[in-house]
């Protein structure tokens, strides 16, 4: 639980998601996520912090496709946190699952422990061929080989918004810190906000009857609510 005034959470509306993938690109641009190349992707080392999972049901000519954006669930009972020997993975006061790149020695224990497999690992030193290095976001560090990384809810944007609000002597407005994926989603399927504020949109959606949590039975207490009209084991009502 958070000890400060904010407890960040997210809602993902699967009924609005079109699977366009804008969130994936926005995240990559914002957070300096490296591209690993075709060979490495084939070996299973893709580095996207958010991914659009696609599940196919039915046969031609009526296949059904379900999209599900999966990112770090920022679990309150995160299995990835206690297993890190160097405290690289830990729980911040605002309820985020923080990843401290400098502390990581690359045991990859957290990657195994995460049931959602949202953690990615730098198997090699990332490279940005010129002129792509000009695209790097100066607010976010670049990670070295052997370091684990994952979605941080764009903590740099959260911090920037908090500092801005404090300078202006006001509190944060609902929707003010917007992670890159949330800001870039065309149908507004992704909603971000403060779960401690009962009037914020994300709190309202978290209470929605359409809402459920991913792998809730594992007891990880994730902070992302997935909304969909159908039930969770695929029977559409």
Partner 1 sequence: MAKTAEEIQRDLLRPVLKTSWRFVLVVAGLGICVLAGFSAWMYQATNGIGVAGINRPVFWGFYITNFVFWIGISHAGTLISAILRLSNATWRRPITRCAEVITVFALMIGAMFPIVHLGRPWLAFWLVPYPSERGLWPNYRSPLLWDFFAINTYLIGSVSFLFLPIIPDCALLRDRSSGWRRRLYSGLCLGWRGTQKQWQQLETAMHIMAIVIIPVAVSVHSIVSWDFAMTPVPMWHSTIFAPYFVAGAIFSGIAALIVAMVLLRSFLHLEEYLTAQCFDNLGKLLLVMSLLWFYFVFAERLTTWYGNAKPEMAVLWLTQRGPFRQLFWVMLCCNFVIPFPLLAIKKLRTIPGTFIASVTIIAGMWIERYLIIVPSLSHKFLPYTWGSYRPTWVEITITSVTFCAMALLFIVFSKIVPVVSVWELKAGLPPGSRPAGASDRDGQLEPVQILGAPS
Partner 2 sequence: MKPQNALYALCSRPQAEKSLVALVSAGIAMDNIVVISSEPLDHYQVRRRKKTLMPWLVVCGAALGGTAGFLLATLTQASYPIATGGMSVVTFWTDGIIIYELTMLGAILSTILVFLSTSTLLEWRSLPVEPEVSAGKVLIGVASVPQRLRERVAELLSAFGEVKQYH
* 76 touching partner 1, by CB under 8 A: no
Binding to partner 2 in span 60-79, by CB under 8 A: 75-79
Q: How many CB atoms sit inside 10 A of residue 51's CB?
A: 18
Choose among partner 2, partner 1, none what residue 86 binds, the Cβ cut-off being 5 to 8 Å by kind: partner 1
Binding to partner 1 in span 77-96, by CB under 8 A: 79, 82-87
Choose among partner 2, partner 1, none what residue 120 binds, the Cβ cut-off being 5 to 8 Å by kind: partner 1
Nearest to 125 by CA among 142, 106, 103, 100: 142
Closest approach of partner 2 to the CB of residue 105, in Å? 16
* 58 touching partner 1, by CB under 8 A: no
Nearer to partner 1, 143 or 157 (CB): 143
**DSSP at 172:** P
User: What SS3 class is residue 224?
Assistant: strand
* 145 touching partner 1, by CB under 8 A: yes
Interatomic CA distance for residues 28 and 24, integer angstroms: 6
Distinct helix (H) and strand (E) counts, the chain: 6, 10
Interatomic CA distance for residues 87 and 186, integer angstroms: 37
**DSSP at 14:** T
Residues that bind partner 1 (CB under 8 A): 40, 43-46, 51, 53-55, 70, 79, 82-87, 103-109, 111-113, 115-117, 119-125, 144-148, 215, 218, 220
């Amino acid at each position: 639980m958070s000890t400060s005034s904010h407890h960040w959470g997210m809602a993902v509306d699967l009924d609005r998601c079109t699977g366009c993938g804008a969130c994936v690109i926005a995240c990559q641009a914002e957070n300096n996520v490296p591209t690993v190349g075709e060979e490495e992707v084939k070996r299973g080392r893709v580095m996207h912090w958010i991914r659009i999972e696609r599940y196919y049901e039915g046969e031609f000519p009526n296949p059904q496709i379900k999209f599900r954006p999966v990112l770090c669930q920022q679990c309150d009972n995160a299995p990835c946190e206690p297993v890190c020997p160097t405290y690289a993975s830990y729980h911040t006061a605002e309820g985020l699952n923080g990843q401290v790149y400098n502390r990581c020695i690359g045991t990859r224990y957290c990657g195994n422990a995460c049931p959602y497999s949202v953690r990615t690992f730098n198997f090699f030193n990332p490279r940005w061929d010129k002129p792509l290095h000009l695209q790097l976001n100066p607010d976010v560090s670049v990670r070295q080989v052997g370091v684990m990384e994952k979605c941080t809810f764009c903590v740099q944007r959260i911090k920037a918004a908090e500092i801005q609000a404090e300078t202006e002597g006001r509190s944060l407005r609902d929707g003010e810190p917007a992670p890159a994926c949330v800001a870039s989603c065309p149908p507004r399927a992704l909603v971000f906000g403060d779960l401690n504020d009962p009037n914020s949109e994300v709190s309202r959606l978290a209470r929605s009857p359409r809402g459920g949590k991913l792998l809730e039975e594992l007891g990880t207490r994730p902070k992302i609510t997935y909304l969909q009209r159908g039930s969770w084991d695929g029977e559409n009502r």
